[in-house]
Amino acid sequence: MSNISPGPDDEGRRTFLKMMGVLGVGLVGAGALRGVIQNLLPSTSNVVSAFPTLILISGSGSPIKTGDITVNAPTVVLFQYPLENEPNFLLRLGDANNNDKAIESVSVSVPATGKSFQSPGGVGPYRSIVASSAICQHLGCDPPEIRFHPPSDASFPGLVHCDCHGSTYDPSKGFAVVTGPTTQPLPNAILSYDSTNDTYKVVNMVGPTIYGHSNDLSGGNQLPSKTTTTVLVQGS
């Protein structure tokens, strides 16, 4: 039956065939691997492809005015950006006497990487309004565990503190790290102020990636509106 007996003259041919076979199996594996990996990688394209520009509105649907935001408010004021499950603080910073404090754009260092980024600085008529992700960069605690503590006297300028593990951030310096254990500042939300009609828009994020997300634009559902995001006081 077996009239092809493997002999010395067959060795080279056999090796060649084996190599071809292994190559073929490898090709199949590699070809399938592309599909497998690309399929499981969370993609950004199916949610939003770029940071949206959203007008900040109140719960009643009208745009937020400067007067709607309290200086040094002790309550937790949040809006979602850029996706539904990504809350951000909206803060109007002031001194211990509740007078608006102008916030400069500063270079914020990221201790985890040693790099730094430029904070957007305050906006509004008094350049006192800032915003940042409200998810702690240490282990992802949400408000009210992480919240803004207003200034009490000249020695305490008002800081964002997380009760979970004690991380503290300075909102007047681009939410830079004041005390650990966090090694990354809060991602800053970039606001823009339109002085002609006293409205605020959120246009982008700068700084580290929002905690728990592979990308600021992934890992959540798109906001219900493509033009607005609602500012809400937590607990109300």
Partner 1 sequence: MSGKKESMIEKIMNDPQPIPRKVPDYMRKKGGGWYWTGAMIMVVFIYEVLTGLFLLFFYEPTNAYGSTENFLNNTPFGSIIITTHLYGAYLMIGLIYVHLLRNLFVGAYKKPREFQWLTGLLLLVMTLGVAFFGYSMSGDVLSYDATDVGRGIAAGVPFIGTSLRGLFFGNGTDTSLFLYMRGWHIVLTVGIGMLFLIHFFMAEYNTIMPSGEDSKFKAPAIDKDDGTYKAWYPFNMVYMTQILFLVFGVLIIIPSILALLPGAPTLFSPFPQVSPSSPLAASVPSYPPWFLLFVYKALDFTMVQGIGPFWGTVIFAGFPLVYLFLLPYLDRKESLRIRDRPVTVSFGIIGTIYMIGLSIWGALTPGAAIPDEYVLLFFFVPGALVFLISYYAAKLMRDQKLQEGAEKIYLSIGVTGVASFGSGILILSSLASPSPLHLIGMILLLMVTAIGMAVTYAMIFGIRIKDREIQFKPMKKSSYTVTAGGFTMAAIVIFIEISIMPINSVFNDSLYGIGLGLIFLIVGAFIRLYRASIYGE
Q: Which stretch binds partner 1 (CB under 8 A): 20-28, 53-61, 138-146, 157-165?
A: 20-28
**234 alpha carbon, distance to own chain's centre:** 20
By CB under 8 A, residue 24 contacts partner 1: yes
Residues 39-78 interacting with partner 1 (rule: CB under 8 A): 39-41, 43, 45-46
Are 189 and 131 in contact by the 8 Å Cβ rule? The answer is yes
Contact (CB, 8 A) for 204 and 224: no
- Based on the shown chain and the rule CB under 8 A, indicate whether residue 179 belongs to the binding site for partner 1: no
The answer to the question of residue 236 lying near partner 1 (CB under 8 A) is no
Judged by CB under 8 A, the residue of 8, 30, 61, 97 near partner 1 is 30
Rule CB under 8 A: say whether 6 interacts with partner 1: yes
DSSP codes of every residue in 166-223 = --EEEGGGTSEEEESS--SPPPEEEEEEETTTTEEEEEEEESSPPTT-SSTTSSSPBP
Min dist CB 139 to partner 1, Å, is: 24
Q: Is the dihedral of CA 43, 48, 182, 114 positive or negative?
A: positive
- The length of the chain, given as a count of residues: 236
* Closer residue to partner 1 (CB): 37 or 154: 37
Note the residues at the interface with partner 1 (CB under 8 A): 1-6, 10, 13-14, 16-18, 20-21, 23-25, 27-28, 30-32, 34-36, 38-41, 43, 45-46
